[in-house]
Structure 1
């Protein structure tokens, strides 16, 4: 499985008036770890863009279990659960420093031509990188 994780300490700016991480910020966290996931796979966004591809979010979901608070040290994980057709599904989990699962969510992305802005089949070189990385772990 293609996976990545990052650590992130919650700054005050990420919290709301109740002192917990504002719900929408988890999608920003998902983006941060997804960048590392693709980079680990050998496919940073700069490479995708140079190849004339874009990877917009087609759908996003998030199930909040336990609030994250200011100064919590978070472990944010991502894994690619499927790459098929033009779609890539990314699963996310967020844990606190005690190992408690705070959030489960994910995003679905569609490979799109930068020129036409239309969906395209996942390029062979991307599938090769995905399969090679998956097999090496």
Structure 2
């Protein structure tokens, strides 16, 4: 499954050189992850209500071509790897002409909200776990 999130580049996301500031790509990755979860029928709020949060442990970005103010882009997100405690998301940022602007990965880990200790997602959200497992099928 590939989730797609459309974004119009805002002026506030650009730097003095007129291109999107590099850290904003990470924000777009987050929007992609949130959209992916939503496309599966879940929300981060529902997971927080179950005492789960998913901090990012690692992120990689390869910047290929700059994005600019007013440009419409699409963040494509898919799951590359999944386990009870870790999800590796793959992100591709494209423009409407399908030119790849950036690509990367983010690694999210499952922790309890109350103590920030790693836990298995199926202990608290078996439905979400099953949905991610079924992506492989």
TM-score by length of 1: 0.91
2:128 corresponds in structure 1 to: 126
Q: What RMSD, in angstroms, separates the aligned Cα atoms of the two structures?
A: 1.4
Q: Superposed, which structure 2 residues align to 1:105-120 within 5 Å? A: 105-120=104-119
The size of the alignment, in residue pairs, is 134
C-alpha separation between the residues in 2 aligned to 1:100 and 1:107? 21
Q: Provide runs of 4+ in structure 1 moved above 6 Å.
A: none
Which residue of 2 is the match for residue 70 of structure 1?
Answer: 69
Residue matched to 1:22: 21
- In the superposition, the TM-score normalised over structure 2's length comes to 0.91
Q: How does 1:10-89 map to 2 (within 5 A)?
A: 10-89=9-88
Long gaps (5+) in structure 2: none
Deviations 1:11-49 (A, max 9, x none): 111111111011000000111111110111122101110
| Paired residue secondary structure (1:66) | coil
Q: Is the 8 A contact 2:82 2:133 kept in 1?
A: no
Say if 1:53 and 1:111, in contact at 8 Å, map to a contact too: yes
Q: Is the 8 A contact 1:77 1:92 kept in 2?
A: yes
Shift of 1:126: 2.1
